[in-house]
Structure 1
Amino acid sequence: MRTHQLVLAWIEDQLSAGRLAVGGRLPAERTLAEHLTVSRTSVREAIRILEAMGVVRAGVGSGPDAGTVVISDPTAALGSALRLHVATQHLPVADIVETRVLLESWAAGKARPDAPELDEAAALLAGMDQAEGLSVGDFLALDVRFHFALANAAGNAVVSAMMGSLREAIQGYAAELTSNLPDWDATASRLRAEHHAILAAVRKGDGGRAAELVAAHIEGYYREAGLGAGSREP
């Protein structure tokens, strides 16, 4: 095992045992290096890896923000990794979209009708309804947040993190696909109507209908933009 892996293993053990938790701080770099009998360079390398994974936030200097603090941001790390693998063309975008359909339709089917996240979704829809003066990028940004809110309404942290990562991984690609649409205004109008129908089904407690609508909504957009269900090319 390489020395920085020893540091990672020790930190994982501390988290698993409950001796470290979100909001807690890692020992100082020198202290940790001496405790594990490794170089400070190895400690720094391990911390950089943990930062990229969204497990810690490292601060410099002195004061309340100094030191390395344990956080939890799996979406950012997973999304970054997925984007890189899409860029290498190892993960076809069509496969990612298909996986997103599975996760989002499950989330819509399990979303609680009284979940507070649905109020956020409704507010985002109100923003999307202000079509005049709303750029394509602004519309898609609201769309992303709407789908996040629906996923969060299901109350499953793992599904929310995975779905958020999948959407982050293809958000740029989805924006590029808008150039393939024959009439963006018509598409935006249809997407808004579909969003309202999805939210209404969730509010009524009709999870089955909500799941069907979400699947048709996602697949319809990519099909219209030229990414066929059978395509496996990024």
Structure 2
Amino acid sequence: MRTHELVLQWIEKQLSDGDLVLGGRLPGERTMAEQLQVSRTSVREAVRILEAMGVVRAGVGSGKDAGTIVIAEPGSALGSTLRLHVATRHLPVADIVETRVLLESWAAARATVDAPALGEAAELLERMDSTQDVETFLALDARFHVALAEAAGNAVVSAMMASLRGAIENYAGELTENLPDWNATCARLRGEHRAILAAVNSNDGGRAAELVAAHIQGFYAEAGLGSDPGSKSNPGLLMAHGGPPKGP
């Protein structure tokens, strides 16, 4: 394990045990090096990496701003890192589409019927039914998918989906320009959302996973960007989103 991962793991445990809180200071380099049995140079480099990730803020000198302060939980930092990669186009389009299918189908298959996030998902569907505005619909839609992922109870998957929420919303908006009839597509999306949620609530994880995968991959094809999300020939698309197209 690389030292910054070791330090990150230590911070997570300290936070979960209540021995460290957001805004709290990390021990000095020497103390951390002794506790983790690594060199002070390694601790210093780890702190630099964690500062770049947005987990800590390192202050110098003396006074209230001195020391290394925890400013975000590691899960939040993961989201920040993914958002940075998404914003700078460092992630291939096809890889992101495939990753979203993997994450969401996995989560749908493992969502628990008593998860609070499913109640939120149902409320979001009601709000989607009552809006005709494209931007509002897509914003609610992105939140719906994040809520479904949260229902699986995996903190890392939830953090990854939350970090991609803005990308889902923004690029789905761009893709609507390629659709021949947004109203027809919107109506189909509503129906597919309800079918996915119904499968989850019926504890049919396999069916829910299939529906989610088709839902995400379908809009990729319907928007005229190819039926194969594994194709890397469309650099303008980041997140395909929606329902399966009619026909082959």
Q: TM-score range by the shorter chain?
A: 0.7 to 0.9
> SS state of the match for residue 231, structure 1?
coil
Change (3 A) 1:47 1:131: same
Change (3 A) 1:198 1:170: closer
Aligned length: 215
Alignment pair present for 1:79 and 2:78: no
How far apart are the structure 1 equivalents of 2:93 and 2:221? 13
Alignment check: 8 A CA contact 1:58 1:68 kept = yes
Equivalent residue number for residue 3 of structure 1:
none
Task: Give 1:162 deviation, angstroms.
Answer: 2.3
Equivalent of 2:172 in 174, 189, 196: 174
> Aligned runs of 1:38-49 on 2, under 5 Å?
none
> Aligned runs of 1:77-226 on 2, under 5 Å?
77-85=80-88, 87-88=89-90, 91-132=91-132, 134=133, 136-226=134-224
TM (norm. structure 2) is 0.70
Q: Residue type matched to 1:197 in 2?
A: A
Task: Give 1:50 deviation, angstroms.
Answer: 3.8
Q: Residue type matched to 2:70 in 1?
A: V
Q: Give a deviation string over 1:122-178, Cα, whole Å, max 9, x none.
A: 01111100133x2x2211111111011111100111122223334444542222111
Task: Give 1:194 deviation, angstroms.
Answer: 0.5
How far apart are the structure 1 equivalents of 2:168 and 2:118? 24
Alignment check: 8 A CA contact 1:21 1:70 kept = no
Structure 1 runs not aligned, ≥5 long: 1-5
Greater alpha carbon shift after TM alignment, 152-161 vs 67-76 = 67-76
Q: Residue type matched to 1:186 in 2?
A: A
Change (3 A) 1:49 1:184: farther
Alignment check: 8 A CA contact 1:82 1:166 kept = no
Alignment check: 8 A CA contact 2:112 2:152 kept = yes
Alignment check: 8 A CA contact 1:83 1:169 kept = yes
Identity score, percent: 58
Change (3 A) 1:209 1:13: closer
Equivalent residue number for residue 69 of structure 2:
68
How far apart are the structure 1 equivalents of 2:163 and 2:82? 4
Change (3 A) 1:54 1:101: same
Task: Give 1:182 deviation, angstroms.
Answer: 0.9
How far apart are the structure 1 equivalents of 2:123 and 2:5? 43
What is the alpha-carbon root mean square deviation over aligned residues? 3.7
Structure 2 runs not aligned, ≥5 long: 34-39, 236-248
Q: Residue type matched to 2:102 in 1?
A: L
How far apart are the structure 1 equivalents of 2:6 and 2:159? 25
> SS state of the match for residue 112, structure 1?
coil
